[in-house]
Chains A and B, each alone.
Chain A
Amino acid sequence: MTTEILTHPSRIKVPYTWSAGETLSRFFKALRDEQKILGIRCPRCQKVYAPPKKTCGTCFVECSEWLEVGPSGTLLSFTQASYVSPAHRSSKPFFGLIRLDGADTAFFHLLGETNLQSLKIGIKVSPVFAEKRTGSILDILYFRAAN
């Protein structure tokens, strides 16, 4: 006779409130209120971070020189996710690695109004802002090929 093995289904649900801190709050507020994208320059290595960092991780000095970057940028690479994941906000989303004009760093964001045939590494892309903005990176709905 085999032993009946019992399982115990459960769910971990812990509430969090993460602070964006002063530096990223300034970035998100500019995005929300002025539809502007801000970067910050390291005083030592001169690298322009977008999104901004309070300190340069390599030089370990405080960054204080704010500047506007983009809003257009260059598509450094891209893909389309064809599989289904609860992490995706839409079906078969396009993801692009984008470096905004005037910035030295890139970030991932969604690509919209597009298809695999028209996307090419190196094309210019520009952001489409959400009508109702809340001060988050999703205030940019997606990037699309610049005209």
Chain B
Amino acid sequence: MKRTAIVGCGQTDHNGNRFDVTGVELIQEAVSRALQDAELTLDDIDGVVIGNMDHFEGINGVELWSISGNGGILKPTIKLTTGGTTGSTLAIGGYHLTASGLFNKLLVIGWEKNSESDTTGAITTAFDPVWDRLVFAGAISGLAVEASAYMRKFGVTEKDAARAVVRDRKHAVKNPHAHLRREVTLDEVLRAPLLSDPIKALDICPRTDGACAVIFANEDYAEKICPKPAWVLGAANRHPYAYLGDVEWYPLKSLDLAAKELYAKLGIKEPLKEINLMELYTPYSFANLSWIEALGLAKPGEGAKLIWDGVTDAGGALPINLSGGVLSTNPIGATGLIRAAECAHQIMGRAGERQAEGVKKALSTGFGGCFWSDILIYGSEKPS
């Protein structure tokens, strides 16, 4: 197995509505920016992996349909799609394929144009046709029941969750790629229209049009391409169940197990101290509290304290979602890959105004399916 790194990233300037371009043209923007970031041309790329959420644009052969924009003409080109975790699965795929040595320099693309469809209608098609679809609560209501159980278990409040929204939205102001770049106050979050109790409009991610492209290169090429590559130290993922009723809600079992596996593999004992930055696929406010407990950052029920103490704010001991996170930007098939790109750019020192100091280790997650979780950890030092 070869050591492998991220050597270039490109994102579109994400927006609620990119009617000025087709999906193919949107993808091309991100690919073009990634090539520019890595100072490579298409001739340098061995293969392309692309993904988005099935049914969101109703274009199911996306790898072939987008070929003129995805850079894959006359190259090996494949699709990876795992619902909400698509973006993080893409990152893990990029890691596996370059680490295998079968590909040296691989272009990985995630994208979505949520403006083109009815998101909930499309998500419904991911669920079991003879059972779940007939009584389907939708993504928001599925998360709402998790939040209610978590609040009841630990006495967590809507105000606690609102504080996490305030954090992510404040961070987004410094990210030129973010979709929602206006700060919000605690009061605004608490007074926002109710969507599905206890989730209000500002507690949940937006629907975004956007694309992200990331170039992976293995140890034979990484340092020649990038002066400070973001080495992939490892990845783990867990897919628990297909039905909501089977999911173990607390701690989020898939994330808990994936984190434990990866921490053990990398010898990480105190993630709060040993990891410098996290980009989490937290699609709604309460996930920013509960899921960091599954990641081992706080004891059960104490995630909120970490948020209130500012530990996860820009300038804090462990900044989370300096990009503004998923609450500010959510082009679903790109979302998990944006987390990877943000971690990589932080390690490379290319994160612009949102750059954190001295990022040596960063962690990104993906979330989707029926409470599925992916994790990747990146480092500035080449693994031994």
* A contact set with B: CB distance below 8 Å: 8, 10, 12-24, 53-58, 60
Contacts of A13 in B (CB 8 A): 121
Q: Could you tell me if A8 and B28 are in contact, using CB atoms closer than 8 angstroms?
A: no
Chain A residue with the shortest CB-CB distance to B28: A55
Question: In the bound complex, do residue A21 and residue B25 qualify as a contact, i.e. CB atoms below 8 Å apart?
Answer: yes
Once the chains bind, are B133 and A19 in contact (CB under 8 Å)?
A: no
A24 to B23, CA, bound (A): 12
Q: How many of B's residues come within 8 Å of A, CB to CB? A: 31
Task: Verify A19–B21 contact, CB threshold 8 A.
Answer: yes
Assembled-state Cα–Cα distance A17/B25 (Å)? 16
Do B57 and A18 have beta carbons less than 8 Å apart? yes
B69 at the interface (CB under 8 A from A): yes
In the bound assembly, the distance between CA atoms of A13 and B55 in angstroms comes to 10
Beta-carbon nearest neighbor of B35 in chain A: A60
One digit per residue, 1 when the CB lies within 8 angstroms of any chain A CB and 0 when it does not, for chain B 232-272 equals 00000000000000000000000000000000000000000
Residues of B within 8 A of A57 (CB): 67-69, 71, 73
* Known A-B contacts A10-B129, A14-B58, A15-B118; A23 and B42 likewise in contact (beta carbons under 8 Å): no
Closest chain A CB from B54 CB (angstroms): 11
Contact A12 B125 (CB under 8 A): yes
Residues on B with beta carbons closer than 8 Å to the beta carbon of A60: 28, 31-32, 35, 41-42, 71
Task: Check: B274 CB closer than 8 A to any chain A CB.
Answer: no
Inter-subunit contact B118/A18 (CB<8 Å): no
A14 partner, pick from B21, B42, B71, B117, beta carbons under 8 A: B117
In contact, A14 and B25 (Cβ under 8 angstroms)? no
Minimal Cβ-Cβ distance residue in A for B58: A16
Which residues, 1 to 21 on B, are CB-close (under 8 Å) to A? 18-21
Does any Cβ of A come within 8 Å of B122's Cβ? yes
Among residues of A, the one whose C-beta sits closest to the C-beta of B21 is A21
Report the separation of the CA atoms of residues A76 and B104 in the bound assembly, to the nearest whole angstrom.
39
Q: Contacts A16-B58, A57-B68 known; list 14 others, CB within 8 Å.
A: A10-B133, A14-B118, A14-B121, A14-B125, A16-B116, A16-B117, A17-B115, A18-B22, A19-B22, A24-B22, A57-B69, A57-B71, A58-B73, A60-B31
B327 to chain A, nearest CB (A): 25
Write out the residue numbers on chain B whose beta carbons fall within 8 Å of the beta carbon of A21. Answer: 19-22, 25
Q: Which of A15, A17, A20, A58 contacts B22, CB < 8 Å?
A: A20
A10 proximity list for chain B (CB < 8 A): 129, 133
Tell me, rounded to whole Å, the shortest Cβ–Cβ distance linking B110 to chain A: 19
Query: What does the 1/0 interface line of B128-168 toward A look like (CB < 8 Å)?
Result: 01100100000000000000000000000000000000000
Which 6 residue pairs across A and B have the least CB separation, nearest first?
A57-B68, A21-B22, A19-B19, A14-B121, A8-B130, A21-B21
> Measured between alpha carbons, how far is A110 from B31 in the docked complex, in Å?
35
Give the complex CA separation of A58 and B28 in angstroms.
12
Bound-state CA distance A17–B6 (Å) is 35
- Cα-based distance from A10 to B118 in the complex (angstroms): 18
**Cα(A56)–Cα(B68), bound, Å:** 7
Alpha-carbon distance between A60 and B117 when the two chains are bound, in angstroms? 28
Contacts of B57 in A (CB 8 A): 16, 18
CB-CB under 8 A from B58, the residues of chain A are: 14, 16, 18
24 CB contacts below 8 A, A to B, read A12-B55, A12-B125, A14-B117, A14-B118, A14-B121, A16-B58, A16-B117, A17-B117, A18-B22, A18-B58, A18-B116, A21-B22, A22-B21, A23-B25, A54-B28, A55-B68, A55-B69, A56-B68, A57-B69, A57-B71, A58-B73, A60-B32, A60-B35, A60-B42
